[in-house]
Amino acid sequence: MYDLFANSINFINNILWSYILIGLLLGAGVYFTIRMKFGQMRYFREMIRVLAEKPSFDKKDKNQISSLQAFMIGAATRIGTGNVAGVATAIAAGGPGAVFWMWLVAVLGGATAFVESTLAQIYKVKDEVGYRGGPAYYIQKQIGSKWMSRAFAIGIIVSFGLVFNSVQSNTIAEAFTGSFSINPMVIAIVLTVLTGVIIFGGVARIARFSEKVVPVMAVFYMVLALYVTFSNFTEIPAMLLLIFKSAFGFEEVVGGGMGAAISMGVKRGLFSNEAGMGSAPNAAATAEVSHPVKQGFIQAMGVFFDTLLVCTATASIILLSGKQGSAELTGVNLTQAAMGEHFGSWAGGFLAIAILTFAFSSIVGSYYYGEANIGFVSKRKASLYVYRIAALGMVAFGALASLQLVWSLADLAMALMAFINLVAILIIGKYAFAALRDYMEQRKQGKDPVFYAHKIEGLKGVECWQEDQEVGEQMGANKREVS
């Protein structure tokens, strides 16, 4: 029965990814990049400036989330299993060429991330503890499709709150079992308890946890990667050549070829940076900013940070070690073996501990994405507690399940969620570009951009960007028609 279930999931995944999602994801990225005129790269300096801005609200208000904190919640879900085990899985199954396709997904995905996160800010709503929003909100408000918004809400609850967290706990269990021979049941219990302590504290605690943990773990991991890079500096040209050759099927590497490289690169790239999946906008919507484009910029930068830096670091560690993936050596175990080649036998244990911090922060951030969408499924408070218990159950399940099963479930959940979101932002993405034009015009005038909904014609259901009627009437003649 288990094999039948796993094979059925793999069959459905092959159809979705081979014939639908890869083309839709890359096509949307190309379209948004052209509409932005490569803005995800041209405005990189502006992204850094916005990230460094001081929050406009009182820092003592624990219910307000700054741009930096929202960025860290998004980074917490990005910097995790996808960067360590996901990259290793992609290389083992798709060859070194998968790394090239991860890079491409990141470059194009920067534009996609900008669009979805800007839209999340435009259509966010105020609640008792701050702001919330995301694809379910902009789908319902602008497109007016209740079934579509509800389907996405259910998708993100199942994907992030449940399935993806099982992938994170599975990777932690694999790492600790391999390095310290700890019983997975013990790991399952410990992770479940720790997750419960965090998630019952609310979004503000999630933000503060992510703000403290993410920078430390990312910097430390990058230091090790830089050491590997510089100590193997003369081998880098050969590594890059291997990546490009394998990307286009010029040679077979670890069962690679062009098709496998594209498939694994795109899937693991999306799992890692989430651009287009519709998850990061839920974090983007929580930020208090003066203009939606500011958070769009910050989330776009997060994609580059995740894939072009952290994922490349992992790829370098593996490829410069000379280790090749196999049926026995894949996922986090491949990365551990590569670390052992560079640093010695202690490295496997170190990576297990690093994985704990990476993946646990992802569990916390992913949980919040699901919580932010509970209201679309049920308004009863009991539903939130049922979700929390289910989320804790999946953390325990992931620590005990097989690697193949949890990754297959993750691919399926990711495909269904991304499909709904990509279709939605292709329909209403024009409002994000109109907001970008408004933002850049104000910047050229030397202003700190401030957004008002009436300046963009056609917006529906906007709640948080209104102004008093007198000012609105004075500025109404300057409405910008959306092309």
CATH (domain of 471): 1.20.1740.10
Cα–Cα distance, 119 to 435 (Å, whole number): 9
Q: Which structural domain range is residue 250 located in?
A: 2-478
pLDDT over 90, % of the chain: 29
Residue 36's pLDDT is what? 94
Phi and psi at residue 132, in whole multiples of 5°? -145, 155
Most confident of the following: 33-42, 173-182, 259-268, 305-314: 33-42
* Average pLDDT rounded to a whole number, residues 452-463: 92
Cα–Cα distance, 88 to 443 (Å, whole number): 42
Residue 470's pLDDT is what? 40
**How far separated are the first and last CA of the chain, in Å rounded?**
53
Residue 139 maps to a domain: yes
Which tens digits make up the pLDDT trace of 2-37?
677 777 777 777 777 766 788 899 999 999 999 999
User: Lowest-confidence range among 38-42, 284-288, 351-355?
Assistant: 351-355
Residue 473's pLDDT is what? 41
Which tens digits make up the pLDDT trace of 236-280?
999 999 888 888 765 544 444 566 777 778 887 887 788 888 888
Which tens digits make up the pLDDT trace of 190-233?
999 888 887 776 556 656 666 666 667 667 777 888 888 888 88
| Nearest to 282, CA basis, from 109, 38, 40, 78 | 78
Cα–Cα distance, 409 to 391 (Å, whole number): 15
User: Lowest-confidence range among 329-338, 406-415, 461-470?
Assistant: 461-470
Residue 198 maps to a domain: yes
- Could you give the number of structural domains in the chain? 1
Residue 26 maps to a domain: yes
* Average pLDDT rounded to a whole number, residues 118-145: 90
pTM score over 0.85: no
Residue 191 maps to a domain: yes
Most confident of the following: 20-24, 364-368, 452-456: 452-456
Residue 483 maps to a domain: no
For residue 272, give Cα distances in angstroms to 66, 264, 461, 477.
23, 12, 32, 44
**Paired tokens of 46:** 């502006």
Which tens digits make up the pLDDT trace of 48-67?
888 877 765 555 555 566 66
Residue 145 maps to a domain: yes
Cα–Cα distance, 77 to 461 (Å, whole number): 29
More confident residue, 96 or 433: 433
